Structure 1
Amino acid sequence: MTWGKEFLLAILFLILLMGIDFSVKGAGPVMRGGVRLVFALVVAGIVFYVLGTMKIFEHRIKLGTFSKIWGFIFGICLGGLFLLISFLGHTTLMMHSKTILADSMMALSAGIFEELLCRGLLLSGFLSVFKNAKYKFTEAALASGIFFGLFHFLNLTSGQSFLPTLQQATYAFVIGAIFASIRLTTNTLTWVILIHALIDWQPGISVTHLVNSTVSWPVFGAVWGIILVVTVIFLTSFDGSYNHQETLNSKK
């Protein structure tokens, strides 16, 4: 499938998601979570059929020393600490949730649907668009991240305020670029689906997913700006490792 058709298919999935959400709006949390999960699994099957594989490379890319250093800083120091805090915090909160089954299904459906859509279908499409670029993986990761951020503006249609939505879309863009980095490094969607689901695994997410509070913009910009810079440095180094490996292979 051409990249244009992949983009159209992604838009179709989003329209269908909005229609499904509207159709179960008055249903209970378990029904909404269950319907969302079934839809996500159907989308996963279609995307797998379209792409033919969940891998990007036949073999994982061997990272250079610079990439490994930044990968350690980014993956272990930042990501590992964040996931540990999220896991411990969310587990404690979920033990007191009255909708734990519905919340779990909703979180898992979000991880499956959004990752198959953004890091699966769209990342594949953007890699085709930027296939001749020197930093094609960086550009494709950032482009898919932008789409992931824009996707969250749909929350405006559910009554979420503009400024909280703007912050949500901004950090979703950065997280999208991070997830693309993980996708490229591990050469699988499994980890990003699990991490995404864990982040969304929160009490009441099956009841409402809206955010109506903001943090200080200077603090917000500093924190997410630094994370974005670290992510871009890693992505460009990944491109460098890939280009170096391709050069060596062409000489054999």
Structure 2
Amino acid sequence: MIKNRMSWGKEFWLAALFLVLLMGVDFSVRGAGPLVRGGARLIFALVVAGIVFYVLGTMKIFQTKIKLGTFAKIWGFIFGICLGGLFLLISILGHTALMMHAKTVVADTMMALSAGIFEEFLCRGLLFSAFLSAFKQTKYKFTEAALASGIFFGLFHFMNLISGQGFLPTLQQATYAFVIGAIFASIRLTTNTLTWVVLIHALIDWQPGISVTHTVSSLASWLVFLAVWGTILVVTVIFLISFDISSKRQLSLS
């Protein structure tokens, strides 16, 4: 794995600082129009991305990509179907159709880009690197780091309570954000870059009105919700474990 410029403890402190600064940026543009809020968020996200890139020194994790074993390829195929179907239905078809009629399309685009850039460089970049260093002696370090960064990504969404979002919708949002976070970590491990997760994240968030309000009020049936996201999580964890096994085999031979 590629070494970074900071210890994992300092990376955690830097991530905490970025979150505090994000709240400061949001507070400073409170009451401003969507374009101002979207622009401020995007500028802040780009600055954070630049700092994280300097700290990490690269968007890669490995010098060369890990070649997946047969078991990992099988579960990667299943994993890809789950992710591909979810992404296609929710993002490409639904959001694109709605955005064609959005009155705040420019501001919404900036806000979506800022979310993809800031959250991915923070969670799948800085924090994922910190967790990898913290778990470097464990048997399944990539799995544990992916789930740990996913948990943080889920907890991050509890900040929406400050905006007046209800607790139960926030709990569901944090839960599926945790699963999506683990999925994004898997994509970063497989592709060995942050580029794809930034783009996918931005497209998922690219929806009408996100620059006006990012809170949710709908509440799904808990039985259906847990069945769907629980299944996706199980598939993701199995893939992560198989990735750990493949990486150990390749790194031991190198």
TM interval, shorter chain, is over 0.9
* Equivalent position to 1:175, from 169, 176, 180: 180
* Equivalent position to 1:54, from 59, 82, 88: 59
* Equivalent position to 1:83, from 50, 74, 87: 87
Amino acid at match of 2:156: F
Amino acid at match of 2:167: F
Cα distance in 1, alignment partners of residues 242 and 233 from structure 2: 14
- Please state how far the C-alpha of 1:247 moved relative to its aligned partner: 2.0
Matches within 5 A, 1:25-174: 25-75=30-80, 77-85=81-89, 86-174=91-179
Cα distance in 1, alignment partners of residues 252 and 14 from structure 2: 34
Percent of aligned positions with the same letter in both sequences?
Answer: 79
Unaligned ranges ≥5, structure 2: 1-5
- State the secondary structure of the residue aligned to 2:62: coil
- Please state how far the C-alpha of 1:6 moved relative to its aligned partner: 0.3
After superposing on structure 2, the runs of 4+ consecutive aligned residues of structure 1 that deviate more than 4 Å are none
Unaligned ranges ≥5, structure 1: none
Cα distance in 1, alignment partners of residues 235 and 83 from structure 2: 12
Superposition RMSD on alpha carbons, in Å? 0.6
Amino acid at match of 2:180: I
Amino acid at match of 1:166: L
Q: Residue 8 in 1 paired to residue 13 in 2?
A: yes
Cα distance in 1, alignment partners of residues 86 and 250 from structure 2: 32
Q: Residue 188 in 1 paired to residue 179 in 2?
A: no
Q: Residue 215 in 1 paired to residue 245 in 2?
A: no
Cα distance in 2, alignment partners of residues 246 and 134 from structure 1: 14
* Equivalent position to 2:28, from 5, 23, 28: 23
- State the secondary structure of the residue aligned to 2:46: helix
Aligned length: 248
Amino acid at match of 2:88: L
Listed one character per residue, the Cα deviations across residues 94-141 of structure 1 (whole Å, up to 9, x for unaligned) are 000000000000000000000000000000000000001110000000
Listed one character per residue, the Cα deviations across residues 70-112 of structure 1 (whole Å, up to 9, x for unaligned) are 111111x112222222212111100000000000000000000
Cα distance in 2, alignment partners of residues 174 and 91 from structure 1: 23
Listed one character per residue, the Cα deviations across residues 13-69 of structure 1 (whole Å, up to 9, x for unaligned) are 000000100110110000000010000000000001111111000000000000001
Cα distance in 1, alignment partners of residues 177 and 250 from structure 2: 31
